[in-house]
Structure 1
């Protein structure tokens, strides 16, 4: 009898998807209070000030859960399609994980840039009589 580690259900998408779901849930449920916490979404943009830190972690937790809900079913599907572990299974399941990690960072950084300027101050909404920034 094969061990669970040798079955195609032990694949990168399924395991990383569960990790993304867990991280997203834990950061949402227990957000890191300060930038000195040992966990959290930590990039240059998110560590400018407390507001960027809080928003970066809130949004990264949301995206992480979203990606987890995509990776887990994909990993299960790959486990049902393949009868055994192979190089092709590895490549097909690790590629979405890498893309997902890049998306998590890219989308969260884009979100922070939409809300905050380079100094971490909130961006002003362009109201009716204000001139647009050049």
Structure 2
């Protein structure tokens, strides 16, 4: 898996003077069936989240409020993606190390996930992740 597969996509945005509406459908707007939704909030300034990779999990990350950066690392290349629009999301495929940082005040990060929580799907140690990346190549 390459960070080139991790792309920002636009979500439907229905304009209305009373407030805009955006919706997300699994296997339509995201390339997987949504099995879990979680969100990060009240992240203190200067803090980092993430710092892991998944073996099989697909994710779609959205800045529901405020902004933050997602740093993606496929073992060869790194890229920083800034999220700050609630009608855009970042698709993250399996076997990509990710870190979230640069959270603005009152930011909310929502993540749509392809599977339920499974601790066995995580790489929490970067060296272990790198060994798995290169053994799979």
TM-score under structure 1 length normalisation: 0.22
TM-score under structure 2 length normalisation: 0.22
Greater helix content: 1
Look at both structures and tell me which one has the larger radius of gyration over its CA atoms.
Answer: 1
